Amino acid sequence: MSSDEEVRVRECLRAGLCPICHQGPYKVVASHTLKAHKVTGAMLRDMAGLTKSATICSAEASAERRKLTQELMAKGVLTVPAGSQGGKRTFSAAGLAAQKRKAEHMKALNRAKRQST
């Protein structure tokens, strides 16, 4: 379920516009919101009802970052993609909801399996 506010924030992010002051477009909106409003990318994703892995920068900035990660992995500087270094995972509200849906789906599958044997 998305609130009107989440939909509005997502539309701003998709257009590269700051959802707080409506300036832009920016390639990386989160860089602007952090500097100008002290709002991090994680906070923006929460405001938009997105998961922590959702892309909120432009396709161009995302492609540049992906290319850089691949180069660093090829050189052996990075062994796993940035942002997946392990440890305890944390989730945004949208991420928690997705995890809950997955768990419920698996429970239903296991229940069906038990009943068929």
What is the binding site for Zn ion (CB under 5 A)?
18, 20-21, 36
* CA R_g for the chain: 18
Q: How far is the CB of 49 from Zn ion (least distance, A)?
A: 19
Report the residue number, 23 or 53, with the smaller CB distance to Zn ion: 23
Report the residue number, 30 or 50, with the smaller CB distance to Zn ion: 30
Q: How far is the CB of 52 from Zn ion (least distance, A)?
A: 21
Token pair in block for residue 105: 């789906």
Q: How far is the CB of 12 from Zn ion (least distance, A)?
A: 10
Q: How far is the CB of 112 from Zn ion (least distance, A)?
A: 49
C-alpha dist (Å) from residue 49 to 33, 57, 67, 92, 102: 17, 15, 27, 8, 17
Report the residue number, 36 or 80, with the smaller CB distance to Zn ion: 36
Report the residue number, 38 or 114, with the smaller CB distance to Zn ion: 38
